[in-house]
Amino acid sequence: MLQIMQNNQPTPQPHHSALQHVTGQSVFVNDMGFGGQLLFGRVVFSQQAHANIRSICTQQARAAEGVVAVLTAADIPGLNQMGPVVPDEPCLATDQVSFFGQAVALIAARTEAAARKAASLVNIEYEPLPAITDLGRAIAENSFLTGPRQIATGDVGKAFENAEHVLNGTLHTGAQEHWYLETQSCMCVPEEAGQMMVYSSTQHPAETQAIVAQVLAMPANAVTVEVKRMGGAFGGKETQANHIAAWTALLAHATQHPVKTHLFRDDDQMMTGKRHRFRSEYRAAYNANGCLLALDVALHSDGGAALDLSVAILERAMFHIDNAYYIPNLRVTGQVWKTNLPPNTAFRGFGGPQGIAVVETVIDRIARTLHKDAAEIRKLNFYKNGQSTHYGQQLNEVRLEKLFGRLTDFSHYPALRRETEVFNKENEFIKKGLALTPVKFGISFTTSFLNQAGALVHIYRDGSVQVNHGGTEMGQGLHTKMLEVACRSLGLPPERVIVTATNTSKVPNTSATAASSGSDLNGMAVKNAIDKLISRLAPIAQSLMKISTDDALVFADGKVAPKGHPDKGIAFDELVTQAYLHQVSLSATGYYRTPGLFFDNTAGKGTPFYYFAYGMAVSQVQLDTLTGDHRILKTYIVHDVGDSINTAIDLGQIEGGFVQGVGWCTTEEIKWDDKGFLTTHSPDTYKIPGVRNIPEVFEVEIARDMPNPGTIQNSKAVGEPPLMLALSVWLALKDAISAVGNHQQEPPFDLPATNDSMLKWVEEMRKLQ
Amino acid sequence: MRNSGGIVRFVLDNKIQEVDFEKLQLSPTTTVLTYLRQLDGHKGVKEGCSEGDCGACTVVVAGLNNRGTLEYKSIDSCLVFLPMIHGKQLITIENLAVATPSQMQLHPVQTAMINHHGSQCGYCTPGIVMSLFALYKNHTDPSRETVTDAFTGNLCRCTGYRSIIDAALDVCQHPAGDHFSAQEEHVLALLGEISSDETSLDLQSRGQRYLKPFTLEEALLLRSQHPDALIIGGSTDTALLQTKKNITLSKILDLSAVDALKFIVEDHRKVSFGAGTTLQELLEYANDRLPYLRDMAAVFGSLQIRNVATIGGNVGTASPIGDLLPVLLVLQAQVRLMKKDFQRDMPLRDFITGYRKTALAADELISMVWFEKPGKSELIKTYKISKRKDLDISSVSAALRLTFSKEGKISRACIAFGGVAAIPKRATQTEGFLVGKSWDRATAMEAAAMLPAEYTPISDARADAAARSIMVKNLMIKFWTETAGKEQIFNASDYAK
Ligand SMILES: Cc1cc2nc3c(=O)[nH]c(=O)nc-3n(C[C@H](O)[C@H](O)[C@H](O)COP(=O)(O)OP(=O)(O)OC[C@H]3O[C@@H](n4cnc5c(N)ncnc54)[C@H](O)[C@@H]3O)c2cc1C
Ligand code: FES
């Protein structure tokens, strides 16, 4: 094994796999082998958006060279079902397909090439049915997955009657492809007594285990899921990694061979769900100062062909329709519509970005009509301590004003505004734009019972420690943080502790690593396990040191010592040996559930979030109004992460999340043709941000002195919130387009602001002149 | 060492590797990526897209340059056929660190990536590190522009890139010697051993045939003997047929090792580019000499693509979105077509006969492209509009050129657009309109207004037809603003200044 040279250990702690990453030693599912036994899986998927299946002919494929098995729905021993929340997703289509990319048949072959060849030999005869691939049409034809829901506060009707100013509009926000670098992957190994070992790239091992068990008609205890690491996930492997696991397990079960399936990039893009596109209709009332009096929004979400997590995602959009602003009269309704597209799914932000984009548009428009700087209007409307959200949760630790003060200083906001204006006066075709946007993001799963986690910590006789927990590593640095939590609690250096692969046989019944809650939940569970171990070790230590059981102990620097007497300590290893000899258990489970969460769905009231994370960004862009090209000249971010467990990891989450958000707002555009075929099915046409699409000046500050009591090491979640700060880039682009008309008209604007859309909007602005 | 004509040799892990395709029953168009991933010790290289758009498969190839030293180039291993690296050293992520019995001595670029926290999920990281390694070997204290150029071909979905850029700026500031410098003599000797023999390779396996000549004579001979073979220069266009469309390439004539096709010659009157000149060689040459070619080459693919893609290949595709074609059209370039004992020059305009169709005869190959240099007082500019500025295919590309009379009036106009018709096409009516006019705002606006009618754009995944028409119109205005107006911002070359 590799060993890093420790001589100049940089602080903070690097990612716990950094050495493996940079040397190419990190093992991903597709890097795993199994000698000559291994077969390669492939999925044959629907080439129609909506059709009856007349026949599936697998004869030719079966006869092809190297093919070991071809399976269809009839070959599923268990339930043909993999819907994560409601049973509306067949594992393999039977008599009907409802989206292009839906799995119909499976192939296992001796080589990847043979599997690929055989897939083209499966002949499916379709009888096409009318397909809905457009959200507008789904709404018009009343094709829905769920009925409407509502959350409201105050008296919206009355507020509009009395309002000085009212504005209304419709905002379209686009879909987004996760584009994890590692496509969906799974390897399944049949084991003795009919058990199944599943090596998966999943954010939710427990659910993957449950679905595999379900399709194989096995009890959960016969299926073990292990996740070493994912090559990115971003929500795309929260439910939809279950699919490939189920397919691979079916093949492994049928052939009794180990089988590995790794989706080809284009297939992954065509088969899997995306961030939900939304159509949002809004109406806002405000006064002459720009104070928001009422907001009335109808959110229409495109769920695709099955429900997946759409309800929770819509709910989060509804919870975030206020973003950072106190709106006394607010009504938000939402509905998930059904289209013949792959079921849309979790994506970093989980509905939050779609909701926040609406209210940020409203504020931006208020500022434009009042000819004021939008940052001022934002500040005016910020929540204050003691105010409650539209779902009735009181806010007590609002950090918006503090962040605003720091950010406007740090970015020299007023100077940037002046510079932007002067530049725009002097330039006809190149325009600059500027925007400041905040985020307030609720932390917790909004389905309250999901807020639980487990851990299993072993201390071995040599004093080395193994930490198992229910969270998965997808690059976000969770294992690094857990390592640090364990090291800090036990007072051990990182070399003495290993965080293992996530395994359902170590920690069962876990929730997905999602909702930014990985460190919050698992950190507390790890701490809980270690606290138990410490309470077992303490009496041994006290008796070894001949001190009273009332005397406090400090675990630090590999030693245990009476508080205030570090010189009198004994080595941790020695203590462990003694504990073992004294027949003390050196293994403990840990458990945590977030206290005090509830939400009453019918009333639309409750406390769904444990706390809120805050952040704020200023971005300045430059738009070439003749080509639609833009540059992000400057971005400044101040973000609240409580007391950071690892500033390098948090910085990486802020920057990476922000840039991913920039992609959603600008270059990432998903297009389906009217037959439901994804025309942007590879990176040739689907453009995520590259190295030159990041801000040219990119300064991120982690807000100081803002501990978050009641969480692990007083930290805050950081995975999702920064993504929404990319709306500063989006609205800065709008500001640049608005400058074409000298800020006299409201420019047409939607999301994403691609170069070709911006050219069209600029053209419309010019026509209005 | 004689190569029997059927064996590919290259250096990997500091040893000569021999691949006998027939014996191994290996397809001769096996990509470097596929080859590496089925070896035990080289699984660090990753497949992310199979089309050269993500760079997870980046490896470095070192070959002898004309100074007799090794030159390190990053390439996308998913698009390069194994025989293309014959005679070269293949360097993978596993080769960077040196393992001693007790420790792992990291390469400085690896240490920098760790210290700057440049990896999160780690899937893109091997590719990023290899791009960084090539940068480290080629540049001392590079500018931010050079650094980012090295990574335009590497997508990372996790980090947001800042940490990677910082790692690169830091480690390349004072690049020290590494074990590759120490091993250079040894590797050169090995490469010398492999390339002492210039007999063409003729690889036959699994029903495919792969011909790889080393001299122009052999290339022409093979071309006449195998008119049915598909020519490849860098294969960045052709390999996609296999990796994306699953088409078996039954016969290949690989010109990538024909040194006689790699040259750039400029005299007082004209410039000639050998067909085998890579886009990166073109970019480096054009840099301060031929700005209109530089601006196009600078946004062509990524460094990994430009390191292999050839000018001959770009012309050979005759694609409406071939980025060199509009500029070569306005330069009134000539294409030199060669066959055994005969050659002819043909204007590019006539060479392109239709959508991805050319006048190339079955026994000919493109040997060079040449054009007369525009006069000093001529105005010539090139533009590319794409959804993402780098590593993207043009929605619209353009080249505009104006020649002036002594009186200061436009005496000739050459305008060509790509991406808005089945072929890259001149705008003859607007060109006619411009002749005799003075180059002022009114003229530019009028010309801009009439331009879109000359084209027939379509809507596709990249842009819709209406937007493409606006782009066509706007680029005329942009040309005016940049040559006569005041605003001179947004050239590819002033990125990140
Ligand atoms: C990721 C990616 C990005 C790209 N970006 C761009 C871009 O920005 N702009 C752009 O224009 N293109 C781009 N391309 C397309 C491609 O790289 C270019 O067209 C390139 O110039 C092709 O050169 P090549 O040598 O690799 O071609 P090859 O694939 O080797 O050949 C292309 C065609 O030309 C023929 N040909 C090649 N050499 C000769 C010769 N000497 N004589 C006769 N025929 C010949 C071949 O038979 C074939 O039909 C991109 C491709 C990829 C994969
Ligand atoms: S670190 Fe995950 S894609 Fe780059």
Helix/strand/coil (H, E, C) string of A102-145?
Answer: CEEEEEEECCHHHHHHHHCCCEEEEEECCCCCCHHHHHHCCCEC
Q: How many CB atoms lie within 10 A of CB A208?
A: 30
Measured between beta carbons, the chain A residues lying within 8 angstroms of B143 are none
Question: Cβ distance A19 to A91 under 8 Å?
Answer: no
Measured between beta carbons, the chain B residues lying within 8 angstroms of A622 are 489
ipTM for the assembly: 0.97
A3 has a pLDDT exceeding 70: no
Mean pLDDT of B185-200: 92
The verdict on a CB contact (< 8 Å) between B125 and A428 is no
What counts of helices (H) and strands (E) characterise chain A? 19, 29
Closest ligand by atom to B394 CA: 1
Residues A243, A262 within the same domain:
yes
Residue of A191, A574, A720, A763 with catalytic role: A720
B495 has a pLDDT exceeding 60: no
Domain boundary among A271, A302, A317: A271
pLDDT number for residue A769: 79
Query: Is A6 a domain residue?
Result: no
Residues with a CB atom less than 6 Å from ligand 1: B 51-53, 79, 230-238, 255, 275, 300-301, 305, 308-310, 312-314, 316-317, 322-323, 360, 365-366, 393
Nearest CA to ligand 1 atom 47: B231
Query: Which residue in the set B51, B162, B490 is minimally distant from A683, CB to CB?
Result: B51
Mean pLDDT of A590-612: 96
Residues A104, A214 within the same domain:
yes
Q: How many CB atoms lie within 10 A of CB B260?
A: 16
What is the residue whose two structure tokens read 């040309």? B479
| pTM for the model | 0.97
The verdict on a CB contact (< 8 Å) between B51 and A682 is yes
Mean pLDDT of A308-315: 98
**Position B487 confidence tier, pLDDT thresholds 50, 70, 90:** very low
pLDDT number for residue B485: 67
Query: Is A141 a domain residue?
Result: no
- Quote the DSSP letter at residue B409: B
**Position B101 confidence tier, pLDDT thresholds 50, 70, 90:** confident
pLDDT tens track for B287-303: 999 999 999 999 999 99
Side chain identity at A105, as an amino acid letter? A
Residues A440, A504 within the same domain:
no
pLDDT tens track for B141-152: 999 999 999 999
- CA distances for A139 relative to A274, A276, A280, A340, B136, angstroms: 19, 15, 12, 13, 55
- Quote the DSSP letter at residue B443: H
B100 has a pLDDT exceeding 90: no
Residues A494, A415 within the same domain:
no
Query: Is A173 a domain residue?
Result: no
Query: Is A703 a domain residue?
Result: yes
Domains recognised in chain B with CATH numbers: 7-94+181-254 (3.10.20.30), 108-177 (1.10.150.120), 379-494 (3.30.390.50)
Instruction: Return the residue of B nearest to A682 by Cα.
Output: B49
- Quote the DSSP letter at residue A751: B
Query: Is A107 a domain residue?
Result: yes
B3 has a pLDDT exceeding 90: no
Domain boundary among A226, A252, A271: A271
Task: Please state, for a pLDDT cut of 90, what percent of chain B lies above it.
Answer: 92
Q: CB contact, 8 Å: B151 with chain A?
A: yes
Q: What dihedral do alpha carbons B330, B333, B335, B341 form, nearest 10°? A: 160
Residues A330, A347 within the same domain:
yes
User: CA of A183 to nearest chain B CA: how many angstroms apart?
Assistant: 8
Residues A630, A721 within the same domain:
yes
Measure B305 CA to ligand 1 centroid, in angstroms.
9
Residues A700, A717 within the same domain:
yes
Q: Does residue A127 carry a catalytic annotation? A: no
Residue A60 has, within 13 A of its CA and on its CB side, a CA count of 10
pLDDT tens track for A552-582: 999 999 999 999 999 999 999 999 999 999 9
**Position B362 confidence tier, pLDDT thresholds 50, 70, 90:** very high
Query: Is A151 a domain residue?
Result: no
- Containing A539, the helix (H) or strand (E) segment is helix A518-544
Residues with a CB atom less than 6 Å from ligand 2: A 181, 232, 475; B 119-125, 156-159
Residues A395, A458 within the same domain:
no
Query: Which residue in the set B54, B129, B475 is minimally distant from A22, CB to CB?
Result: B129
Query: Is A303 a domain residue?
Result: yes
**Whole-angstrom distance, CA of residue A86 vs CA of residue B123:** 33
Domain boundary among A593, A617, A650: A593
Nearest CA to ligand 1 atom 17: B236
Residues A432, A526 within the same domain:
no
List all residues of chain B from 94 to 123 with a beta carbon under 8 Å from chain A.
94, 96-97, 99, 102-106, 110, 113-115, 117-123
Q: What are phi and psi of A280, to 5 degrees?
A: -125, 120
How does the average pLDDT of chain A come out, rounded? 96
Q: CB contact, 8 Å: B164 with chain A?
A: yes
Number of domains in chain A: 3
List all residues of chain B from 381 to 420 with a beta carbon under 8 Å from chain A.
383, 385-393, 395
First vs last C-alpha separation in chain B: 50
Measure A231 CA to ligand 2 centroid, in angstroms.
7
Please name every residue paired with B105 in a beta bridge, in sequence order, or none if there are none.
Answer: B98
Residues A284, A420 within the same domain:
yes
pLDDT number for residue A768: 86
The verdict on a CB contact (< 8 Å) between B157 and A660 is yes
- CA distances for A138 relative to A336, A366, A505, A675, angstroms: 10, 31, 43, 14
Q: Is the peptide bond before A608 cis (omega within 30 degrees of 0)?
A: no
- What residues contact A547, with CB distance under 8 A and at least 6 apart? A562
A1 has a pLDDT exceeding 60: no
pLDDT number for residue A9: 38
Q: CB contact, 8 Å: B471 with chain A?
A: yes
Residues spanned by the domain of A481: 452-593
How does the average pLDDT of chain B come out, rounded? 94
DSSP per residue over A322-387, as a string? TTTB--SEEEEEEEEEE-SSPPP---TTTTHHHHHHHHHHHHHHHHHHHT--HHHHHHHHB--TT-
* Residue A160, both tokens: 């509009």
Question: Cβ distance A215 to A187 under 8 Å?
Answer: no
Task: Select from A424, A479, A692, A697 the residue whose CB has the most chain B CBs within 10 Å, as the one to mutate to test that interface.
Answer: A692
Mean pLDDT of B466-492: 81
Residues A285, A250 within the same domain:
no
pLDDT tens track for B210-223: 999 999 999 999 99
A260 has a pLDDT exceeding 60: yes
Burial of B100 per CB tally in 10 Å (0-12, 13-18, 19+): exposed
Question: Of the given ranges (A401-415, B20-34, B479-493), which has the lowest mean pLDDT?
Answer: B479-493
Query: Is A144 a domain residue?
Result: no
**Whole-angstrom distance, CA of residue A210 vs CA of residue A215:** 9
Question: Cβ distance A349 to A720 under 8 Å?
Answer: yes
Mean pLDDT of A122-127: 98
The verdict on a CB contact (< 8 Å) between B471 and A649 is no
Residues A580, A634 within the same domain:
no
The verdict on a CB contact (< 8 Å) between A760 and B106 is no
A146 has a pLDDT exceeding 50: yes
pLDDT tens track for A708-729: 999 999 999 999 999 999 999 9
pLDDT tens track for A636-662: 999 999 999 999 999 999 999 999 999
Task: Select from B76, B79, B387 the residue whose CB has the most chain A CBs within 10 Å, as the one to mutate to test that interface.
Answer: B387
pLDDT number for residue A636: 98
pLDDT number for residue B196: 79
pLDDT number for residue B176: 87
What is the residue whose two structure tokens read 């060492």? B1
Q: CB contact, 8 Å: A494 with chain B?
A: no
Residue A270 has, within 13 A of its CA and on its CB side, a CA count of 25
CATH number of the domain at A699, please.
3.30.365.10
